Amino acid sequence: MSSFDLSGKVAVVTGANTGIGQGIAVALAEAGADIAAVGRSRAEDTATKVRALGRKCELIDADLSSIAPVEGIVSHVVDSLGSLDILVNNAGIIRREDSLDFTEADWDAVMDTNLKVLFFLCQAAARHMVGWSNQSGRRGKIINIASMLSFQGGIRVPSYTASKSGVAGLTKLLANEWAPRGINVNAIAPGYIATNNTAALQDDEDRNRQILERIPEGRWGDPQDIGGAAVFLSSNAADYVQGHILAVDGGWLAR
C-alpha cells in the first residue's frame, strides 16, 4: 500500500464548495478518502466530483461565523461516515480597510471565523481522534489553512493578517500538545492561487504582471497544487511532520 493512500479515511473539509477547498476535497478523494464538505454554501459541485471518483461525500450545512455548529459537525460526520480521521480547516473570510478606519465589527467577524472557530473545530475533532489514536498505528491529521500573511504583514487587512499569524502559532501549539496523543497538526500557506476570490487580481493587467514577476514559478497556483500538499500532510508519509507551515507559493517567499 502506498504511503499516500487514504483509503478507509474520512476527511472533513470546511469551505469546500469552490476554489482551494474544492481542490483539497477532490484531491483527498482521489487518494481514497470519503469527504464531509462543511460550509454555509452547499458544495454540490464538489460532491459530484467526489462521488464520480467512487467516494462518499456528505454535505453539512453550517455557518462557521460562530462555534455554535462545531460539536454537531463532528457528531454528524461520525454518525454518517463512521469516523473522522482528517480535518482541513479551509473556511475563512477577509475584510479590507485602512487600519486607521478598521471597525471592531470587521475585526471580530474575521477573527471569529478564521481563528476562534478553527480552534474549536480542532478541539472537537481531536477529542474524537484521541479516542482511537495510536491503535494499530492509526493517527489523526489536522491541517489548517494559513496564508502568505502568516509570514508577511500585508496592507489593509489587519484582522486577516492577525488571524492567519494566529493560525500559524496555534498550529505549532497544538502539534506540541497533541503529537504525543497520535495527532499530526500542520498548516498549508497558499500563495497566489487562481480562484474566484482572486479573479479581480488576475483581471488587473498591472497587478497580475507584478504578481507574476515576483513568483519564480512564473504562474498562478492551481487549487490542485494545494490539494497535493493536503494529501501529503493527511497521509502516513507525513507521520513525522509536526507543527509545520508548508508554503505552496511557487517560490514567492524565496524571492
Beta strands in the chain (DSSP E): 10-14, 34-39, 57-61, 86-89, 140-145, 183-190, 245-248
Under a CB-based contact definition with an 8 Å cutoff, are residues 138 and 182 in contact?
Answer: yes
Alpha helices, H only, 31-181: 44-52, 70-81, 104-111, 117-129, 158-178
Radius of gyration of the chain (CA): 17
Closest CA to 227 of 83, 46, 43: 46
Cell of 254: 524565496
Collapse the DSSP code of 247 into the 3-class scheme (helix H, G, I; strand E, B; otherwise coil) and give the result: strand
Cell numbers that stand for 163 in this block: 488571524
DSSP-based three-state secondary structure for 43 = coil
Q: 43, 149, 160, 227: which is the annotated catalytic residue?
A: 160
Q: Any idea of the CA torsion for 231, 237, 239, 242, to the nearest 10 degrees?
A: -60
Instruction: Confirm whether 160 is a catalytic residue.
Output: yes
Phi-psi region of 46 (alpha: psi -120 to 50; beta: other; left: phi over 0): alpha
Residue in the block written with cell 459537525: 73
CA atoms within 13 A on the CB side of 125: 32
Which active-site residues does the annotation give? 160
